[in-house]
Amino acid sequence: MADTWNFPNFMRAVVRELSDSVTNSSYTGGRASKEPLDVEKCKSEWGLLVQTMRDLGLDVTVLPQDPERPDCLFVDDPCVVIGDTALITRPADETRRGEVSHVLVVWICFI
């Protein structure tokens, strides 16, 4: 008997542009390398991700970058939305707390 997966049908995604300040990110993503991030490569990969989401039919909202917040491209940290329910977090890193209101405003418009 085959397993059946009941994945939700996602229709929308919110992303944030990657800033050059990402090199100051506190998030390492498990990178063992101490080499500096290649910002242009990161931007290229980010663009491919956004295009892939659009190709899959998602309505993608792109928030502008915030050079003052190098981790702001991780919009899933301050807010997670499933259906019509939004979980608003309070990031432990105080420098990330200002991101919550920016992402929340966008989701309020959708819900």
Residue 77 CA to residue 93 CA, distance in Å, equals 11
Residue 35 CA to residue 56 CA, distance in Å, equals 33
- Alpha-carbon separation of residue 33 from 37, 38, 111 (angstroms): 9, 12, 40
pTM for the model: 0.71
Q: Which region, left, alpha or beta, applies to residue 110 given φ > 0 means left and ψ of -120 to 50 means alpha?
A: alpha
List, for residues 5-59, the tens digit of each pLDDT value.
676 677 888 888 988 888 877 765 555 566 777 889 989 999 999 999 999 999 9
Strands 79-82 and 85-88: antiparallel
Structure tokens at 47: 């663009």
